Amino acid sequence: MTDIDSPRGPAAERPFHLVSEDTAATATPPLRVDLAIIGGGMVGMSLAIACSEHGIKTALIEAEPAPALTDRGYDGRSSAIAYGSQQVLKAIGVWDLLKDQAQPILDIRVTDGGGDQRDARRPGGVSPFFVHYSHRDLAEDGTAAQSGEAPPFGYIVENRISRVALFERLKACPNVSHIAPATAMSFKLDAERAQVSLHDGRRIGAALVVAADGRQSALRGFAGIGISESDYRQSAIVCTVVHEKPHHGVAHEHFLPAGPFAMLPMTDDRDDEGHVRHRSSIVWTEDPRLVPMLLALDDDAFGAEIERRFGLTLGRVRPLGPRFSYPLKLLVAEKYLADRMVLVGDAAHGIHPIAGQGFNLGIRDVAALAEVLVDARRLGQDIGSPLVLERYARWRRFDNLLLVGVTDGLTRLFSNDLPPLRLARDLGFALFNKLKPAKRLAMRHAMGLVGDLPKLVRGKPL
């Protein structure tokens, strides 16, 4: 990663080689790059890294300073990184920097109902209707044949850890100017050129601008791209928990009337006295009206509420560290491109975390866009031309819409307690659990291995 010139000279001594806001240089001529990425979240950073080795000069513009993005208080989420996404992170040199803190997901157990021992409808607690996916089942199909052994479905990694690894990798990237903290405030986009103006007056001219600026994307709004949005009237409570028993790499999801409750296995760590701690990350969907009260409970009461929903499969459960909540909405952009700009990640699609796929979709956007841009560059094409951008948009739209439909359908089907629906679901669970080919297809979908896969998802270089 290189730095752009500033009135104070090179910023090499500053952390992460950032160009800080006090280096504003409104009088200086615009920085000229091939690619300007607005938003240095996990998706924007991955795109900058993927393009950097291929001679695409890139400016990565992020509103937050790097230390804020990796602070424990910024984002309490862990993400399920599907096997296909792990292949991308490996191919772009990020995986080795975080693999020691990535917990393999070996089994997934989905249950209709909770673990409340007092639930009269569920004597004994957890519903007898479940679907169990084991990575060993993949040993019988082509997924395993490639590597000789069945791979895990994916990995659970704290977002904070992924960001640290992405920043670390970014530092070694040629052709990338990481400009942060800096907010992209206005844009000029037409068939001939794209220009971004930052909050301090600096300007960046580019052949292509990418909106990786998340759900509230200012660039998407500026380009006049409409969105369809729907409020699930649910919030996700997220935090790390410790539990008495080891999780053995099993991810659990219980479908409760208020919404899904997931217990995602994390790597063990040690407490201050050196004792091993078994950890998981919870994603607990709730009625937003109850969330403030639940977040304010003391650790014992909060742990007891988790046990009411999850049961004692992992023994006693207690929270560890800060708790977070996220309102849940569906967001779909009406199109992915305008003059000299495209959307990636949450700027293009924001989905319910029920299947842990939002970031995975963003990573597949990155893999496809990087491949399209590198191919265009090899052929001497203008990387911001409609021909190039339409190839990306066509490639990604179907996969994204499919996942939007699946996650939206599952959320609506399972977030209720209507007796006829519950009966149908339970019968469906019992039947599906016995259908091996259908289960295998669902597993390959969850791993991000179905469809027209970009090279990076197949673990191949661009």
Q: Which parts of this chain interact with ligand FAD (CB under 6 A)?
A: 38-44, 61-64, 77, 79-80, 183-184, 212-214, 218, 236, 238, 283, 326, 345-346, 353, 356-360, 362
Give the span between the Cα atoms of 301 and 84, in whole angstroms: 39
Rg (CA), the chain: 23
Q: Which is nearer to ligand FAD, 129 or 239 (CB)?
A: 239
Distance of alpha carbon 400 from the chain centroid: 13
Q: Which is nearer to ligand FAD, 16 or 326 (CB)?
A: 326
Q: Which is nearer to ligand FAD, 127 or 407 (CB)?
A: 407
State in angstroms the smallest separation of the CB of 214 from ligand FAD: 3
CA–CA distances in Å: residue 79 to residues 72, 263, 314: 15, 12, 20
Show the tokens assigned to 291. 């969330």
Torsion angle of C-alpha atoms 108, 114, 115, 117, degrees rounded to 10? -160
Q: Which is nearer to ligand FAD, 61 or 131 (CB)?
A: 61
State in angstroms the smallest separation of the CB of 179 from ligand FAD: 9
State in angstroms the smallest separation of the CB of 131 from ligand FAD: 18
State in angstroms the smallest separation of the CB of 433 from ligand FAD: 23
State in angstroms the smallest separation of the CB of 190 from ligand FAD: 20
Q: Which is nearer to ligand FAD, 26 or 276 (CB)?
A: 26
Q: Which is nearer to ligand FAD, 129 or 261 (CB)?
A: 261
Q: Which is nearer to ligand FAD, 59 or 173 (CB)?
A: 59
Handedness of CA 241, 246, 251, 254 (dihedral sign): negative
State in angstroms the smallest separation of the CB of 145 from ligand FAD: 26
DSSP class of 141: S
Helix 358-378 with 386-414: angle, nearest 10 deg:
170
Cβ burial 348-375 (10 Å sphere, 16+ → b, else e): bbbbbbbbbbbbbbbbbbbbbbbbbbbb
Query: Which residues, 6 or more positions from 176, have their beta carbon under 8 angstroms from its beta carbon?
Result: 1, 2, 48, 49, 52, 58, 59, 60, 170
The answer to whether 2 and 57 are in contact (CB under 8 A) is no
Q: Which is nearer to ligand FAD, 10 or 327 (CB)?
A: 327
Bin 266: left if φ > 0, else alpha if -120 < ψ < 50, else beta: beta
State in angstroms the smallest separation of the CB of 249 from ligand FAD: 15
Q: Which is nearer to ligand FAD, 101 or 360 (CB)?
A: 360
Q: Count CA atoms closer than 13 A to 410's CA, side-chain side.
A: 21
State in angstroms the smallest separation of the CB of 357 from ligand FAD: 5
Show the tokens assigned to 44. 């924007």
State in angstroms the smallest separation of the CB of 184 from ligand FAD: 4
Show the tokens assigned to 166. 């992405």
Neighbour tally for 302: CB within 10 Å: 20
Handedness of CA 268, 240, 125, 315 (dihedral sign): positive
Q: Which is nearer to ligand FAD, 114 or 345 (CB)?
A: 345
State in angstroms the smallest separation of the CB of 196 from ligand FAD: 9
Give the span between the Cα atoms of 257 and 414, in whole angstroms: 7
